[in-house]
Amino acid sequence: MENNQSLNFIFTILISFELLIVAYLDIKTKKIKNYWSVVNTLLAAILITVNSTFSLEIFKLPLIILVVGFMLFAIKLMGAGDVKFLTTMSLFIPIMHQNIFVQSFLVSLILYSIILFFIKLFIYQKDFKLYWKNHQLLMGVLFLIKKKEAFAPCIFLAWIIFLIQLGGMNVFN
């Protein structure tokens, strides 16, 4: 049992570190390379095998994320790399914690969206002022929303909120 706890702690640190790296690279390049999704899939397979917690139910959350993510990709609100990465990252979430992760992700999405909106408002204030001046406030807001931004930091924030809600590094127990 002690070995399992140590291994779970190591996996939590590895996942956290990976999310931090991917968030940084996504901010820098606005792209998430496919190999991160491959790494997630391989690590999840190892984790599932070691913890002997395999059940087809583990694929419920990733499948939902994939379907919703595809719709968000179709309307250009989320990139394909973001969808693949979030889908494979969700393979790490044990069935018993999936609801908590979804809640964490939604809180993260709201916080991240608000923060990004104000950052974009500051960066594109001249453009926004033109919309405001021409009484096209809705068009100005849409202009800000449509600007492509990194999504991996939102996933990283969701992971941190998830860990806090679980009371630390006890994800896989």
Over its length of 173 residues, how does the chain's per-residue pLDDT go in tens digits? 456 677 778 888 889 999 999 999 999 998 999 999 999 999 888 877 776 656 788 889 999 999 999 998 888 778 899 999 999 999 888 888 899 999 999 999 999 988 988 888 888 888 888 887 887 877 877 777 776 788 899 999 999 999 999 887 666 65
Distance of CA 2 to CAs 38, 66, 97, 163, 166, Å? 29, 35, 21, 20, 19
The DSSP element (H or E) to which 12 belongs, if any, is helix 2-29
For residue 15, give the nearest of 39, 31, 34, 33 by alpha carbon: 39
Can you tell me the distance from the alpha carbon of 34 to that of 41, in angstroms, rounded to the nearest whole number?
11
| Token representation of residue 166 | 């679980």
Q: Tokens 């500051």 — which residue? A: 122
